[in-house]
A and B are shown apart, each in its own frame.
Chain A
Amino acid sequence: MIRRPKHELPVIPTANLVDIAILLIIFYMACSNFLSASSARVKPPRATDLTKQKEPLVVVTIDKEGAVQLQGRDVGGPADIENAIGELIRDKTTDEGRTVMFKCDAGVSREVFQPVLDAIVQAGGLILAVGENIEK
Chain B
Amino acid sequence: MRKRFQLRQMNQDAIPTTSLADMMFLLLIFFIMTTTLAKTTGFVTDIPAGATGKQDTQEKTPTVALHDDKITVNDTETMDVAQLRQYVARLRLDQRQGDAKVVIVAASGHVSYQTYYETLALIQNAGGVVAIETEEDRK
Per-residue interface assignment for chain A, residues 107 to 119, with 1 indicating a CB less than 8 Å from any chain B CB and 0 otherwise: 1111001100110
Annotate A9-28 by CB proximity to B: 1 below 8 A, 0 otherwise: 00000100110011011001
B117 adjacent to chain A (CB < 8 Å): yes
Is A114 touching B28 in the complex (CB atoms < 8 A)? no
Which range holds the interface residue count of chain B?
35 or more
Give CA–CA (A105, B79) in the complex, Å: 24
Q: How far is the CA of A25 from the CA of B34 in the complex (A)?
A: 12
Contact B35 A31 (CB under 8 A): yes
B38 within 8 A of A: yes
B11 → chain A closest CB, angstroms: 18
Query: What is the minimal beta-carbon distance from B129 to any residue of chain A, in angstroms?
Result: 12
The docked-state distance in angstroms from the alpha carbon of A67 to that of B55 is 37
- Cβ–Cβ < 8 Å partners of A50 in chain B: 41-43, 121
Cα A17 to Cα B117 with chains together (Å): 49
Chain B residues with CB under 8 Å of A131's CB are 41-43, 117, 121
Assembled-state Cα–Cα distance A117/B46 (Å): 11
Please determine whether A28 and B41 come into contact, CB atoms closer than 8 angstroms: no
In the complex formed, the residue of A with least CB distance to B108 is: A110
Kindly identify, within residues 88 to 136 of chain A, every residue whose CB is under 8 Å from any CB belonging to chain B. 95, 99, 101, 104-110, 113-114, 117-118, 121-122, 124, 126-133
Known A21-B28, A32-B35, A45-B117; further 19 A-B contacts with Cβ < 8 A: A14-B21, A18-B21, A32-B31, A32-B34, A33-B36, A47-B122, A50-B41, A53-B40, A55-B40, A107-B114, A109-B110, A114-B132, A118-B134, A121-B49, A126-B45, A128-B44, A129-B42, A129-B45, A131-B43
Q: Which 5 residue pairs of A and B lie closest in terms of their CB atoms, listed nearest first?
A: A28-B31, A21-B24, A45-B117, A47-B121, A106-B114
